[in-house]
Chains A and B, each alone.
Chain A
Amino acid sequence: MSKNGYLQIHDPLKPKGHAVGIDLGTTNSLVASVIQGKPRCLVTDEGERYLLPSVVHYGKDGGVVVGARAKRLAAEHPTDTIVSVKRFMGRSPEDAETRKLGAYKFASTGGKVVRFEVAGGQPVTPIEVSGEILRALKRRAETHFSAKVEQAVITVPAYFDDAQRQATKDAGRLAGLEVLRLLNEPTAAALAYGLDKGSQGTFAVYDLGGGTFDVSILKLVEGVFEVKSTGGDSALGGDDFDRAIAQRVLEAMGHTDSAPSVVAEVLAASRRAKESLTEAPEVELTVSGHQQVIRREDFEEWIRPFVQKTGVVCRRALKDAGVTAEELDGVILVGGATRVPAVRRYVAELFGREPLGDIDPDQVVALGAAVQADLLTNADRQDEVLLLDVIPLSLGLETMGGLVEKLIPRNSTIPTAAGQVFTTFKDGQTGLDVHVLQGERELVEDCRSLSRFTLSGIPPLPAGLARVEVRFQVDADGILAVTAKEQSTGVTQSITVKPSHGLTDEEIEQMLLDSIDHAEEDVQTRQLREQRVEAERVLMEAERQISENGGLLAEGERASIEAAMARVREVAKGNDSHQLKEAIHALDELSKPFVERVMNQALTKVVAGHSVEEF
């Protein structure tokens, strides 16, 4: 028997449970799992809905509400209710996407991470907000299975850069999930379609969601889904369509700088108008007394620049994959925004064929993620299917003159690695600056800065003699690790860097600890609520007895009972459930002799034909 026998099967550190697939969307999120061999979406919100609105509300009492209930609180508490948080994942406060029209209140921390100011506590980061959504989905799945769910495949837009991927993975950790894999959304959709239809050939997946656009060209052969190229825009989606309407409405209302509550209301009304325009040629939009007719024709004109932007991206993806539109075997539509008729028409024209959309475009990504989660955890299924994905954006290093030298070109199949050897240019130089960038442009300032660090401890040698190898390794999640090794003296130094504008491991740990504290707080909150109900009941009862049987009170008793009652009322206003319990107990004890007298009188009345139950 091999030394890895039974221990591996019964590894107590690795609870299996059910592995789920999660589509963490800009507008809605879903959780799905393979049940009896078929992927199915699980009910996640009230009213038996599969879609959980990606909305998180922070209450004044520190409570957190997720989903449809949170969405309903958005109009009244716009800045305490975070919508479309995905747009902010891995982004800095200065980012153009961060500054688009929206009802958010940003905390001015000066850091590189966006923080929202919300009621009931410290400002929250997009990672924490996403963590709440994931936690809600995890709980729903656990309710469904009546068992723990600890492993998940989470989908991300194919065009997410390293920082956005890292942020998503951190959100998963925060929610107590082991993230088995970050899966690109179009690839997930192709997996759901490909398996369903048993297709072979080359397909394009056009995925226009709430806040992101992706296109992927895939080749399906004998169970292997090979992504040939991918392209996208992680700041383009249906939300832009809403904003296009909202801007016109705000203009018509004469608003230049509107309050968050107005912006939130207009955005919500614009979204409903957009959805209605899928069926109706025109809709009447009503918002705080303002009425405006929106015609489909005008709407299509307003969104044209966004739709055309997707065309440029598609053509480049086709070129990168080395195929023409005619050579495709099919085009798959994914994402809620592909319901807009103008988008469908545009895609049909662009690819010269009617796109496929027979799997619900809202569900298809989550279903694919569930299949992948099953493939990763279920050894019986491992020979059937494999996904080979690519990195969406080139990775490089800063060189002389502010230029970027690409080490890993975009659309390289992952996992992949590349290295570059640097030499020192000064005698005795002991440090080397390394600047890691992601993007397609030539100049450093046009690319995304992922990390900047100084490699120190190089032995002092004449210029050009020290040799430092910087190595990039991209794993199957598309996440980069950079290591640098000093080779000249045989002394090898290795360091691994994380994106500088993400959260540090320490910050994530702290958040994890906080969320555990939070759980304790939750228990306290519940106990407090129970004690308050009890206090109310006791007070009502005492008042009734005093008013009905006041004659039975001994001298001074009324004053001391009323003092105890006042104490209960006072403590009930506070947040200490323990103190409240004690106050209730004190009132109870103090009233005991009086209550006994009332009981005795009642017993006397029983003789007169009354039952005890009447009390």
Chain B
Amino acid sequence: MKCWNCETDTSGSPFCPTCGKIAERPAGTSHFAIFDLPLAYDVDVPALEKQFRELSLRLHPDRFAQAEAKERRLSLEQTTALNEAYKTLREPTRRAFYLLKMYGVDLEREDTGTQKDMPFEFLEEVLDLRESLEDAMAAKDLEQARKMATDVEARRKAALTEAVDMLRSLERSPSDEAAVKKASHALGRVRYFTRFLEQVEAFEEEALS
């Protein structure tokens, strides 16, 4: 990537190393690259927060309020990317999903391919949970729904731990297809459990209001 102002190679850094102008970032710069981090699950969150503040102080559109249109646009783009990267890496679940995506499996996408890929036991588990929650909701049994939520929260945590273990092992051997599959199954469960908990929460709010 060349600097738009002085044509030096910026090699993906936020500012041109020669003239100091805000630089253009190559499309698809990873969230980890924005924070100069290796592609790994474990992130020092307080350090990340500090780095986020420091980068924000330099990149934010407020810093370019009186600058040229070109610089204002780059500031908007870079800060948008920075905010997205921070939001993703700060939170363990989002970070895990993002890492899995880097290994080629995008669970956020709503295509049936990844759904079909889930093991049969999981589908049984889903049907079972859904039926019990529907019963509790029909009976307006808030107590029962809360009990289920506690249980599902524990399952969510366990599934996330399992996924994280797989992601860590992938850092050592990145081409381990079986590990990718295991991580994707575990995170598929995390995703379902998260939605389930949101449903319980919505039910709770409705019941209380």
Indicate if the CB atoms of B66 and A14 lie closer than 8 Å. Answer: yes
Indicate if the CB atoms of B65 and A416 lie closer than 8 Å. Answer: no
- Smallest CB separation, B34 vs chain A (Å): 14
Report B46-64 CB contacts with A as 1/0, cut-off 8 Å. Answer: 0001000100110011110
Indicate if the CB atoms of B61 and A224 lie closer than 8 Å. Answer: no
Indicate if the CB atoms of A413 and B87 lie closer than 8 Å. Answer: yes
- Smallest CB separation, A325 vs chain B (Å): 18
Task: Tell me the complex Cα distance, A382–B57, Å.
Answer: 8
Task: Tell me the complex Cα distance, A416–B6, Å.
Answer: 28
Partner of A376, one of B19, B56, B65, B84: B65
A579 part of interface (Cβ distance < 8 Å): no
Indicate if the CB atoms of B65 and A221 lie closer than 8 Å. Answer: no
Contacts of B65 in A (CB 8 A): 180-181, 376-377
- Smallest CB separation, A18 vs chain B (Å): 14
Given contacts A382-B63, A386-B62, contact A224 B76 (CB under 8 A): no
Task: Tell me the complex Cα distance, A221–B46, Å.
Answer: 12
A415 part of interface (Cβ distance < 8 Å): yes
Task: Tell me the complex Cα distance, A379–B5, Å.
Answer: 21
Indicate if the CB atoms of B62 and A376 lie closer than 8 Å. Answer: yes
Contacts of B86 in A (CB 8 A): 413
Task: Tell me the complex Cα distance, A475–B60, Å.
Answer: 11
Partner of B60, one of A3, A180, A379, A388: A388
Within 8 A of B (CB), among A360-389: 372, 375-377, 379, 382-383, 386-388
Number of interface residues of A (CB under 8 A): 31
Indicate if the CB atoms of A417 and B80 lie closer than 8 Å. Answer: yes
Task: Tell me the complex Cα distance, A376–B65, Å.
Answer: 6
Closest to B60 in A: A386
Task: Tell me the complex Cα distance, A14–B68, Å.
Answer: 11
Closest to A476 in B: B61
Contacts of A180 in B (CB 8 A): 65
Task: Tell me the complex Cα distance, A473–B83, Å.
Answer: 13
B79 part of interface (Cβ distance < 8 Å): yes
Contacts of A388 in B (CB 8 A): 56, 60
Within 8 A of A (CB), among B83-134: 83-84, 86-87
- Smallest CB separation, B101 vs chain A (Å): 15
Given contacts A180-B65, A413-B83, A416-B84, contact A475 B76 (CB under 8 A): yes
Indicate if the CB atoms of A415 and B79 lie closer than 8 Å. Answer: yes
Indicate if the CB atoms of A222 and B53 lie closer than 8 Å. Answer: yes
Closest to A226 in B: B53
Closest to A8 in B: B68
Task: Tell me the complex Cα distance, A578–B36, Å.
Answer: 73
Within 8 A of B (CB), among A412-429: 412-417
- Smallest CB separation, A219 vs chain B (Å): 9
Task: Tell me the complex Cα distance, A377–B65, Å.
Answer: 7
Interface size of B as a range: 20 to 34
A4 part of interface (Cβ distance < 8 Å): yes
Contacts of A375 in B (CB 8 A): 62
Indicate if the CB atoms of A415 and B80 lie closer than 8 Å. Answer: yes
- Smallest CB separation, A5 vs chain B (Å): 12
- Smallest CB separation, B70 vs chain A (Å): 10
- Smallest CB separation, A66 vs chain B (Å): 28
Task: Tell me the complex Cα distance, A376–B56, Å.
Answer: 15
Partner of B62, one of A3, A8, A181, A222: A181
Contacts of A223 in B (CB 8 A): 57
- Smallest CB separation, B128 vs chain A (Å): 25
Contacts of B79 in A (CB 8 A): 415, 476
Contacts of B66 in A (CB 8 A): 14, 376-377, 379
Task: Tell me the complex Cα distance, A226–B83, Å.
Answer: 12
Contacts of A417 in B (CB 8 A): 80, 84
Contacts of B80 in A (CB 8 A): 415-417, 473
Task: Tell me the complex Cα distance, A414–B19, Å.
Answer: 28
A2 part of interface (Cβ distance < 8 Å): yes
- Smallest CB separation, A404 vs chain B (Å): 14
Within 8 A of B (CB), among A444-475: 473, 475
Binding site for B on A (CB under 8 A): 2-4, 8, 14, 180-181, 221-224, 226, 372, 375-377, 379, 382-383, 386-388, 412-417, 473, 475-476
Binding site for A on B (CB under 8 A): 5-6, 19, 49, 53, 56-57, 60-63, 65-66, 68, 76, 79-80, 83-84, 86-87
Identify 27 residue pairs between A and B in the complex whose beta-carbon atoms are under 8 Å apart, listed by A's number.
A3-B5, A4-B5, A8-B68, A14-B66, A180-B65, A181-B62, A181-B65, A223-B57, A224-B56, A372-B62, A376-B62, A379-B66, A382-B63, A386-B53, A386-B56, A386-B60, A386-B62, A386-B63, A388-B60, A415-B79, A415-B83, A416-B83, A473-B76, A473-B80, A475-B61, A476-B61, A476-B79
Given A2-B19, A224-B53, 9 other A-B residues pairs in contact with their CB atoms under 8 A: A3-B5, A181-B65, A221-B49, A222-B53, A386-B60, A386-B62, A388-B56, A388-B60, A475-B61
